[in-house]
A and B are shown apart, each in its own frame.
Chain A
Amino acid sequence: MTALARQTPDVAPEPEPQLAAPAGRRRRRRRTEGETRTITSAFERRRAGVRFSRAVLNGALLVFLLVVCLGPILWLAKSAITPTQDTLRQPLALWPHGVDWANLRTAWVDIDLKLYFWNTVVIAAGSWAVQMVVAVTGGYVLAVLRPRGGRIIYGLVLATMFVPAVVLLVPLYLTVLDLPFTHWNLVNTYWGAFLPAGASAFNVALVKRFFDNLPREIIDAARVDGCGDFRLFLYVVLPMSRPVLGVVSVFAVLAAWKDFVWPLVVLPDPAKQPLSVRLPRLAAVTELDVVLAALLISCALPIAFFLVFQRLFLRGGLEGAVKG
């Protein structure tokens, strides 16, 4: 729950000002997509002075991004297979005394990273499933079925967006410790990690807005054909919702992989903890080269995930919000 990183999901639905723009504007935008005109015009780009400063600026930016954004990760990859003393004495040298591949194995096997890796996968999968079920069914009821009182419920859901999750840390912990009515204690169970993740107003809002914009004619036609609520949901609404489901999914999985504070509190048993929670503890008692190998392994999957689904992250996130 990095303070600044939290903006990403919160902000995504907000480009509304431009997105929900009047139809005229929207048509205009469609036209521009063909033209792809940006700040500089084609004419300007041909001028030597502009061309030169653009090249310098873009080149400098590329170097900046490579060094600042990619650099630390490349450094981590290098140091994960470098012996501790080399990393300590010459952190920026490239393998002065050779490569030590064994670090990765030591991290994976000896400090049991494989267990925490698996735990993280389980938590991400479970949180994803819960978030999907809640968001999709909730969005469907609110946008398509529209029962009486739906607006009030939606208001209550949206209101939670403005109660910071971290402020609820203590009462939520005490709730999970002794669930109302059932008196179940979810601490140290994965349910304690999955279920609270489902209470994401952002997801519900995203899905509901998407469903709101589904062509009403199709839904009405399905109704006329005698389609009930379940059939409508399963065979009409869901198949049309793949874009928004993809967006909700990638952000749900990534958020679960990144989460720290809640699993720290709800999973005190080391054997159940995910990587985020376990790494800081292990880092204090493990040799540096192995720690760095463990860090590399821990961010490898999210990075791979990002590269595979980059369209959803970089464009889909916003387009999903746009259309929804």
Chain B
Amino acid sequence: MSSLLARARAAAPPVVFLLPMLLVFGLFSWWPIVRSFVMSVQQTNLVTDPVFVGLDNFRAVLDDPLLATAVQNTLWFALLALVIGYPVPLVLAVIMSDLRRARGLYSLLAYLPVVVPPAVAVLLWRFFYDAEPTGVFNSVLGWVGLGPVPWLEDPSWAMPSLVIEATWAAAGGTVIIYLAALVSVPPELYDAAEVDGAGVLSKVWHVTLPHLRGIMLITLILQIIGTSQVFLEPYLFTDGGPDNATLTVLLLVYDYAFANTTGGDYGKATALSLMLAGALALMSVVYFRVTRRWSE
């Protein structure tokens, strides 16, 4: 008995230190994860008792004609973000890495948009995107004889407009990551390349970029995972419009749960969340494999 007590006392401190983490993760991470599995096979309106409905929620989501639209839009956003947003930080970082004293100032500027709260950034850009010829961007385009562009007002322009803003808001973070990786390029490699008579561009191509390959792949996969969860931009800029041109998967989840004025459909919302999580898990596996390979 007394030995038990002693053992309990000895074990107490780790438990005390573990408690905050176990409680917080248990309540706000692990339990909701378990719960989303349970809810995806239930129908509930939070007032009456939930009813088990098997896979009906999944079926209802798959039958929803909006699902295809949302998936397409999300992929389209991810692709555009790749084309527009992916090369920008890389180019910036490579040029900046060759700076010496001014590098601090440059990275300060590049990172600045990252600290602007996204809601503020979107409201500001919504004004920039004014479709009238007197709008901010359209005025600038007018100087060079272009436009006016119907930024958010046209189903085919809306998504690129969202991606441009999202790139502005996020590129700085990626620049910093690349810069850190570039610091570790072994100088001997440059020395060796110079001995072989390589010019500046050739060094970038044969030394700098290959050195970044690992981190580039990681940021690529993380970007795809990040963009497939895009919510804030379509929600605040266009609310999924015009004509559902910016309705993304996550916006559809949100709409199922929170946008029906006579009560949310939480079953459908969690079912779709789980399907999205499944797709992302697949990507995470790829990500893990890749990082492991590159760290070996």
Binding site for B on A (CB under 8 A): 1-8, 10-12, 14-21, 25, 28-29, 32, 35-41, 43-44, 50, 54, 57-58, 61-62, 65-66, 68-70, 72-73, 75-76, 88-92, 130, 133-134, 137-138, 140-141, 145, 147, 153, 156-157, 160, 162-164, 166-177, 179-180, 195-196, 198-199, 204, 228-230, 233, 254, 257-258, 260-261, 265, 275-277, 279-280, 283, 288, 291-292, 295, 298-299, 302-303, 305-307, 310, 313-314, 317-318, 322
Alpha-carbon distance A195/B208, docked complex (angstroms) = 43
Residue numbers in B under 8 Å from A41 (CB-CB): 190-191, 194
Cβ B117 vs Cβ A276 within 8 A: yes
Cβ A54 vs Cβ B295 within 8 A: no
Other A-B contacts than A176-B28, A195-B28, A295-B124, 12 sampled, CB-CB below 8 A, are: A11-B174, A17-B291, A39-B207, A39-B208, A61-B95, A72-B124, A72-B168, A171-B36, A196-B28, A258-B118, A276-B120, A292-B124
Alpha-carbon distance A279/B109, docked complex (angstroms) = 25
A138-B21 contact given A91-B139, A162-B284, A298-B120, CB 8 Å threshold: yes
Alpha-carbon distance A307/B233, docked complex (angstroms) = 26
**Residue B33 at the chain A interface, CB threshold 8 Å:** yes
Chain B residues touching A, range? 35 or more
- In the complex, which of the residues A91, A163, A176 contacts B136, with contact meaning CB atoms closer than 8 Å? A91
Alpha-carbon distance A170/B229, docked complex (angstroms) = 14
> From A304, which residue of chain B is reached at the shortest CB distance?
B115
**Residue B116 at the chain A interface, CB threshold 8 Å:** yes
A68-B168 contact given A3-B230, A260-B118, CB 8 Å threshold: yes
A198-B20 contact given A14-B215, A35-B187, A171-B32, CB 8 Å threshold: yes
27 A-B residue pairs with Cβ-Cβ distance under 8 Å, sorted by A, are A4-B166, A4-B226, A5-B173, A6-B229, A14-B291, A16-B291, A17-B215, A28-B186, A32-B187, A37-B191, A43-B194, A69-B168, A89-B134, A91-B139, A141-B18, A141-B21, A169-B257, A170-B270, A171-B36, A174-B35, A195-B28, A260-B119, A279-B120, A280-B236, A288-B127, A298-B120, A314-B176
**Residue B85 at the chain A interface, CB threshold 8 Å:** yes
Binding site for A on B (CB under 8 A): 11, 13-14, 17-22, 24-25, 27-33, 35-36, 39, 46, 81, 85, 92, 94-100, 102, 104, 106-125, 127-128, 134-136, 139-140, 166-174, 176-177, 180-181, 183-184, 186-188, 190-191, 194, 200, 203-204, 207-208, 214-215, 218-219, 222-223, 225-233, 236, 250, 253-254, 257-258, 266, 269-270, 273-274, 276-277, 280-281, 284, 291, 294-295
A275-B222 contact given A39-B204, A40-B98, CB 8 Å threshold: no
> From A29, which residue of chain B is reached at the shortest CB distance?
B184
Residue numbers in A under 8 Å from B122 (CB-CB): 280
Q: Which of A39, A229, A310 has the most CB of B within 10 A?
A: A39
Cβ A11 vs Cβ B120 within 8 A: no
- In the complex, which of the residues B176, B177, B226, B277 contacts A167, with contact meaning CB atoms closer than 8 Å? B277
Alpha-carbon distance A199/B31, docked complex (angstroms) = 12
Residue numbers in A under 8 Å from B229 (CB-CB): 1, 3, 6, 164, 166-167
Residue numbers in B under 8 Å from A322 (CB-CB): 180
Residue numbers in B under 8 Å from A92 (CB-CB): 136, 139-140
Cβ B169 vs Cβ A4 within 8 A: yes
Cβ B120 vs Cβ A69 within 8 A: no
Q: Which of A5, A7, A130 has the most CB of B within 10 A?
A: A5
- In the complex, which of the residues B112, B140, B295 contacts A303, with contact meaning CB atoms closer than 8 Å? B112
A69-B118 contact given A3-B227, A164-B277, A175-B28, CB 8 Å threshold: no
A160-B30 contact given A258-B118, A299-B117, CB 8 Å threshold: yes
Cβ B295 vs Cβ A168 within 8 A: no
Residue numbers in B under 8 Å from A195 (CB-CB): 24, 27-28
Residue numbers in A under 8 Å from B295 (CB-CB): 16-17, 20
Residue numbers in B under 8 Å from A179 (CB-CB): 27
Cβ B186 vs Cβ A11 within 8 A: no
Cβ B169 vs Cβ A2 within 8 A: yes
> From A144, which residue of chain B is reached at the shortest CB distance?
B17
Residue numbers in A under 8 Å from B108 (CB-CB): 307, 310, 314
Alpha-carbon distance A25/B190, docked complex (angstroms) = 16
